[in-house]
Amino acid sequence: MPGDTLTREHVLGNVDEIPVGEGRNFEVAGRTVAVFRNHAGEVFASQADCPHLGGPLADGMLGGSTIMCPLHDRMFDLRTGSVLVGECGITVYPIRKAEDGTLLLSLDG
Ligand code: FES
Domain membership of residue 41 as a residue range? 9-106
Q: Is residue 93 part of a domain?
A: yes
Q: Ligand 1 centre and the CA of 86: distance in Å? A: 9
pTM of the model: 0.92
Nearest alpha carbon, ligand 1 atom 3: 72
* Per-residue confidence (pLDDT) for residue 37, from 0 to 100: 98
CATH code where residue 68 lies: 2.102.10.10
Domain membership of residue 3 (yes or no) is: no
For position 6, what pLDDT does the model report? 62
**Residue at 51 is within a domain:** yes
Ligand 1, residues 69, 84, 85, 90: which to mutate, most atoms within 8 A of Cβ?
Answer: 69
Domain count, the chain: 1
Q: Is residue 67 part of a domain?
A: yes
Low-confidence ranges of the chain (pLDDT < 50): 1-3
Note whether residue 4 is domain-resident. Answer: no
- Nearest one of 3, 15, 71 to 41, comparing CA atoms: 15
- Tell me if 15 is assigned to some domain: yes
Q: Would residue 83 count as lying in a domain?
A: yes
C-alpha dist (Å) from residue 54 to 13, 63, 70, 82: 25, 20, 10, 17
